[in-house]
A and B are shown apart, each in its own frame.
Chain A
Amino acid sequence: MTDHTSSYAPSNGLEKWLDDRLPIIRFSKEHLMDYPTPKNLNYWWTFGGILAVMLGIQIITGIVLAMHYTPEATLAFNSVELIKRDVAGGRIIQAVHSTGASMFFVAVYIHIFRGLYFGSYKAPREVLWMLGVLILLLMMAAAFFGYVLPWGQMSFWAATVITNIFASIPFVGDPLLQLLRGGFAVGNPTLNRFFSLHYLTPFIIAAVVVLHIWALHVPGNNNPVGVDVKSSRDTVPFHPYYTMKDAFGIVVFLIPYAWLVFFTPDILGHSSNYIMANPLVTPPEIVPEWYFLPFYAILRSIDFPLLFIDSKLLGVIFFGGSILILFFVPWLDRSRVRSGNFRPLFRPFYWLFVLNFLMLMYLGSQSTTIWWVPVLGKVGVVYYFAYFLIILPLLPRFEVTRPLPASISESVLRPART
């Protein structure tokens, strides 16, 4: 796909002059317009564009919010309220940003699960996938730092609980904990450094996104049938076909987003975060934001020690492992067929994995005092890891895959019933 010849011809002297020195217009034409894209991409593929827009929205609203926000422990809580009350448009900007974090995660989870179904992580797209996992990790960090900034009760106690996780790492745990908190307990220094890091992370994300897109444009897009592009008949230029399709997807995505912003801006949060942070009062329940719940459920489900590892450290190992394992998916899945559409045995396991992820999300929101929460949690943890460590590697030994179409064009003209 990289061998397509450039169709760019400078249209005037100035463009020619610039093209000889910095061929940025040529680059844009090649990569944003002419880039040959498989013509069978479905709407699940629009989430890449949606995510780029979400990053833009978060950065722009975030920069404006930072102009009015005060990162100081006694002032932070009220400064967020004053943004909503006294800053022109502040109420909307704040809601777009706080709700935007949730919508960002909605989109990224759909994007990841799309990749898992259609085998988008398989050769030659391993680096593309790993950069994506790195973006997920950075997004989680950004979201966590951001959630602490309003300095409500849930902000404060989430910061306490999450930083505490690092304390269980052997040897370096305690110094690391103090470095993260800027002291022995969460306080003003914690807020200051989290604000600084919250401002930094999105720009690191943007840089990794550039690498992610670069790594996409080298092998080109995967597609729903998972067959490589064989001729120019299989592709259409990115512009106007996919700019238009993505733009439509983005506008549709903005509708539920706007619904949350304007009609229920607080419904994704916790009421205790409208109480100013108080180190002396622990809220009855400390629950992370919904997008962390599956991983939080994994952390909590490990309530037993193993050999010389105590339960706390073991929980952290599983918690970290549940995300880090994604880096190895390209090598864990041994099937040569990419798309789940042609893998009859893979599909039920995949959908069970989706259900399992949603179940863990639900369990993460429930109190562990209910007897079935830790029980189902353990079942969920076992399936989560078994999917990656047992099912994906071993399935190809038993699976008879369906015949692949000869080309993308063929699959488009004569759609196979799946």
Chain B
Amino acid sequence: MIHNKNILAAVLGALLLTGAAPVLAQTAATPSAPGTAPAATAPAPKAAASPSSDNANTASGGGTATAAVNLGESEIELQPWSFSGIFGRYDQNQLRRGFQVFKEVCSSCHSADLLSFRNLDEEGGPEFSAAQVKALAATYTIADPDAKGGKRPGLPSDRWPSPFPTEKDARDANGGALPPDWSVLAKARGAERPLLAWMRDIVAGYQEGGPDYVHALMNGYHATVPAGITNADGTPFKLPDGKYYNDYFPGHSIGMPPPLSDGLVKYAPGADGTTVPETVDQYSRDVAAFMMWLAEPGLDGRKEAGFRVIIFLLLFAVLMWLVKRRIWSNVEGH
């Protein structure tokens, strides 16, 4: 009774199944266990050969000769994020570490206008306790014209305070460059993928180009301009004063000094004594994960709902097909 008309359904079904396979394999490699030791997020096998600053240099060596204006996206290495793929979920410990890096390092220049303190205890985020968030908010001073003296301690409902009062102040403090707001930054970065890779990404549920870029950027600094770098017209590349050389930043010259260094942030060991390396590579993974959560706070819930919806639709489609077949069974030729 199989009609060739059902090929359409079969193709779509196959698409779903093939989509699940690579991601299943990926999830197995990165178990995420909220509430356990921070080491749970230690990067999966691929990261064992992960770039220290020197490795990042060789990794991008292929492209250095060509693009001086716009770097090819292929050079940015995909990372095994716990939240990529259809089964991917945020790792609460990693988000907490990423938040720590943001709070202690990045937030001195970068704002996060859409982040409220209350978001930090919401489900699918770093999931601090409500009391922790209240205490954290209270350590910040919020400008409030209605309060006595125009200032008051922060509340969980307050937005994350900006490091600079105006854009001009931000530029003046950063050599003319504006540190971008972090609210959706992780989704505002990441190069366009070639057609076939893009189609694979749809099937695998991979849209983590932003965190990949952040990780690459943090590991792409060089103290001096590597030899052999030229502009698009072949002239030697010259780094402007007050800028820093980065393999992955479009045009290579970035206004942000290397923000991270090994040992800069002290991670508290987990309850069972496990630790996470205090390296630039680890910091950048953690902070990129935090940025992704900031840009996409509902990722966990969205994917969970997706499973319910798609399983429902699959079963519904089967039932509809059976009913359709039954109804059409009395039409001659069918």
Contacts and interface: CB of A to CB of B under 8 A. Distances in A.
7 contacts: A92-B305, A240-B327, A244-B327, A247-B320, A252-B9, A287-B192, A365-B195
- B: interface residue count bin: 35 or more
Contact of B313 (A82, A254, A271, A287): A254
B327 A264 contact: no
A92 B332 CA distance: 43
B331 A264 contact: no
A192 B323 CA distance: 48
A67 interface: no
Interface string B268-308: 00000000000000000000000000010110011101110
Contacts of B301: 91
B9 A84 contact: no
B2 to A, nearest CB: 14
A267 interface: yes
Nearest to A269: B187
B5 interface: yes
B202 interface: yes
Contacts of A264: 201-202, 205-207
Contacts of A258: 306, 309-310, 313
A49 to B, nearest CB: 13
A263 B201 CA distance: 10
B187 A39 contact: no
Given A241-B331, A275-B188, A92 B114 contact: no
Contact of B333 (A263, A284, A412): A412
A306 interface: no
Nearest to A262: B306
Contact of B187 (A245, A252, A266): A266
A81 interface: yes
A42 interface: yes
Nearest to B317: A251
Interface residues of A, number: 48
A270 B5 CA distance: 35
B70 interface: yes
A271 B188 contact: yes
Q: Which 9 A-B pairs have the closest CB atoms?
A: A262-B306, A412-B333, A274-B188, A263-B205, A248-B320, A274-B187, A274-B184, A251-B317, A244-B324
Given A275-B188, A284-B250, 9 more contacts: A85-B298, A248-B317, A255-B317, A256-B12, A262-B306, A267-B202, A274-B184, A409-B333, A412-B334
B24 interface: no
B306 A261 contact: yes
A371 interface: no
Contact of B183 (A81, A245, A265, A409): A81
A255 B313 contact: yes
